[in-house]
Amino acid sequence: MFTKNFLLILVLCTFAASCTNDTDMTEANTTTYQEQHRPQLHFTPESKWMNDPNGMVFYEDEYHLFYQYYPDSTVWGPMHWGHSVSKDLITWEHLPIALYPDELGIICSGSAVVDWENTSGLSEDGEPPLVALYSYHNFEIEKSGADKFQYQGLAYSVDRGRTWKKYEGNPVLPNPGVRDFRDPKVIWDGDSDQWIMVLAAKDRIDFYGSKNLTSWYKLSSFGQNVGAHGGVWECPDLFPVWIPETGAKKWVLLVSLNPGSYNGGSGTQYFIGEFDGRRFRMDQEFGAHLARNKTEDRPAACWLDFGRDNYAGVTWADIPEEDGRRVFIGWMSNWDYGQVVPTGNWRSAMTLPRELNVASTPHGPRIFQSFAAEVQQLRNETKEFQVADGETDVTLEGLDPTRFEIELEVLASDTGRCYLELANDKGEYYRIGFDAAKNAYFSDRTAAGKKDFSEKFATDIHYAPKQIDGVLVQMHLILDNSSAELIADDGLVAITDLFFPNEDFNQIRLIKEDSTTGIQRLVGHNLKGIW
């Protein structure tokens, strides 16, 4: 989000805020969660601006979700950490703002951990403290022309995250002279017996170590010459995984990038390799195939999501070992237009929680993602559809076109697209499916309704190259009013996209352009709203 001239952003924010004030004033006090475009399955703040998920930590049966929050407007401004908790990753309880800006700066992105052994010494009564590490951004230092305006702070809670104290010795990690120096993600590494912090430093990820969370030493850097570099690196995550086929331990490094992602603007790439407590080294096998998706204008990288609306996502800390999952949530938007999307008194949603696993493929280890198992709790009615071979246009009766889940398996023909189309009586439509000629999944929001709010929003169809060879096309889709999340190819492909129809969609059809395309399985679920 940060660019060279922060002042310019502030001016733009103030301008945008004044432009949206009408909506703000009329809707600010009437949050109903039934507003036009309001997601019914996804986390959204009650009102005002939200971006990145922060401080995701599981403690005493609660998933904490903090988030970049500006309580005074529906556009970005001086950042706070908003806060909510969930017992099931599906329904959320809003809590008061956890962290406010202070004399050191505004509170940008970061993470939280349970300090089980009280290594920080911040707890006095034996209750392990929750410790948050976050980035300060200091406008005064920035205005003075100096580079060192981002540095890392610490806050802690000894009451299950309900109240937070800033550490007196802040900042715990000063700026070494890098303009972009932010978004610490902290994990405990038992093998090297230390806390590890990964931090985005402009065009690389810096690794720091600590014994107590309050004093940090530099370990290494990674990434200056690999992966996509069309913009600034942000919001990293580092976590271990075990490859099912061999039991081998590998490490995943997630790196968000803005701009320069596969389909433009903000997006998240990843690397898989070894981490020895000091250095991250990318696996040769993983790296050798990085160029696989490369075309003239696409950077060589592995993308967590090929859609345009999944950014700055990271995974939960401290999910108990007996559960053992890596659960991810991302910000369902894009800096290209996030501040002008046509929602009313709130802006932005998080993706649904997704489980990340790593397994071997002919192209080396890759992330496989799926909706977290809890998402199935949303189902309240299931319908199986039979599609005869000759049928090319099938209306999916009985599914609510504004909110549903589809599981689809197709034997693709050589040509023609096979897709779901949502449409309304205004002639607007959204399409998502598979394009056999391009051997790619696609999401088409070019005619899906409002788009004039940004010339970067709906310029083209978004494609995601098929990753598994063969004719079987497998898709899992969840649609929620103004968003589609597609997980395809067993989890190797994801497309997350927003759209804003002027009127709710009231028709769903499955379209086969080539009648020889075979539908193996088509199951739909109606879904309960969470608000």
Q: Which residues bind ligand FRU (CB under 6 A)?
A: 1-2, 51-52, 68, 79, 108-109, 135, 182-183, 234-235, 312
* Residue least distant from ligand FRU (Cβ): 1
> Which of 52, 444 has the CB closer to ligand FRU?
52
Shortest gap between Cβ of 169 and ligand FRU (angstroms)? 21
* Identified catalytic residue from 22, 24, 52, 504: 52
> Which of 75, 396 has the CB closer to ligand FRU?
75
> Which of 216, 371 has the CB closer to ligand FRU?
216
C-alpha distances out from residue 361 to 210, 393, 447, 490, 495, Å: 35, 35, 36, 12, 20
Distance CA 394, CA 508 (A): 8
14: left (phi over 0), alpha (psi -120 to 50) or beta: alpha
Distance CA 462, CA 347 (A): 23
Instruction: Please report the DSSP string for 429-486 in residue order.
Output: EEEEEEETTTTEEEEE-TTSS--TT-TTTSSS-EEEE--S-SSEEEEEEEEESSEEEE
> Which of 69, 239 has the CB closer to ligand FRU?
69
> Which of 2, 441 has the CB closer to ligand FRU?
2
> Which of 52, 428 has the CB closer to ligand FRU?
52
Please give the torsion angle defined by the CA atoms of residues 55, 60, 61 and 66, in that order, rounded to the nearest 10 degrees: -20
Shortest gap between Cβ of 183 and ligand FRU (angstroms)? 5
Shortest gap between Cβ of 347 and ligand FRU (angstroms)? 13
What are the backbone angles phi and psi of residue 378, rounded to the nearest 5°?
Answer: -75, -20
Catalytic residue check, 52:
yes
- 216 CA to centre of own chain: 28
> Which of 84, 424 has the CB closer to ligand FRU?
84
Distance CA 132, CA 80 (A): 13
Q: How many CB atoms lie within 10 A of CB 499?
A: 28
CA proximity to 64, closest of 158, 136, 162, 154: 162
Shortest gap between Cβ of 68 and ligand FRU (angstroms)? 4
Distance CA 388, CA 520 (A): 10
- Residue 531: both structure tokens together: 């608000």
Distance CA 163, CA 151 (A): 23
In SS3 terms, 86-125 reads as ECCCCCCEEEEEEECCECCEEEEEEEEEECCCCCCCCCCC
Element (DSSP H or E) covering residue 16:
helix 6-27
Shortest gap between Cβ of 311 and ligand FRU (angstroms)? 6
> Which of 83, 403 has the CB closer to ligand FRU?
83
Shortest gap between Cβ of 109 and ligand FRU (angstroms)? 3
Distance CA 218, CA 220 (A): 6
Close Cβ partners of 244 (under 8 Å, ≥ 6 residues apart): 357, 359
> Which of 141, 436 has the CB closer to ligand FRU?
141
Distance CA 494, CA 306 (A): 6
Close Cβ partners of 459 (under 8 Å, ≥ 6 residues apart): 446
Shortest gap between Cβ of 30 and ligand FRU (angstroms)? 27
> Which of 128, 231 has the CB closer to ligand FRU?
231
Q: For strand 417-423 and strand 507-512, is the pairing parallel, antiparallel, or unpaired?
A: antiparallel
DSSP conformational letter for 74: S
- Residue 97: both structure tokens together: 């703002």
Shortest gap between Cβ of 244 and ligand FRU (angstroms)? 32
- How buried is residue 35: exposed, middle or buried, by Cβ count under 10 Å (0-12/13-18/19+)? middle
Catalytic residues, by residue number, are 52
